[in-house]
Amino acid sequence: MTPAERQAFLAEQRVLTCATIGRDGWPHLMPLWYVLREGEPWAWTYAASQKAKNLERDPRATLQVEAGDTYDQLRGVMLKTRVELERDVERIAALGIEIMRRYAPGGDLPPEAEAAFRAQATKRVGLHFVPVEEPATWDHRKLGGTY
């Protein structure tokens, strides 16, 4: 994918898989909802979650976003990142609301939902995924049936 295609793909998709490194050395894979800020993925999670604990110990994470139901339609992006943990409660609350608006029908949240996400922010951390090298991408639709 070109850089523009990659950004459009990431903006269009809804779930990324985040791989962190567990204390036993095994990958820990979890799905996350996300938003893009200046082209970089951001998410939030509970501060007590395993992925947050893993990232406190080792800030490396590999992300994968993929689409396609048949081989000829497979496409995706893999990003190697270093994660910056955001702990400011107001910034975490704003991030959570931004994420939830992205996934809400029409982008609208009722006021009580915003209040609930603000309350959750005290228990969460923000995750800023900063790419450390060029991403790997694939788009089998461009193969024209030849593999």
| Segment 32-73, tens digit of pLDDT | 999 999 999 999 999 999 999 999 999 999 999 999 999 999
- CA 46, 64, 57, 39 torsion: positive or negative? negative
pLDDT of residue 93: 96
DSSP for residue 134: P
Structural domain count, the chain: 1
Range(s) of the domain holding residue 106: 3-143
The CATH number of whichever domain residue 136 belongs to comes to 2.30.110.10
pLDDT of residue 77: 98
147, pLDDT greater than 80: no
- pLDDT tier at 110 (50, 70, 90 boundaries)? confident
Q: Which two tokens stand for residue 49?
A: 């979650």
Please report which helix (H) or strand (E) contains residue 36, including its range.
strand 35-37
Rounded Cα distance, 62 and 17, in Å: 8
Please report which helix (H) or strand (E) contains residue 59, including its range.
none
Rounded Cα distance, 130 and 39, in Å: 10
112, pLDDT greater than 90: no
- pLDDT tier at 144 (50, 70, 90 boundaries)? confident
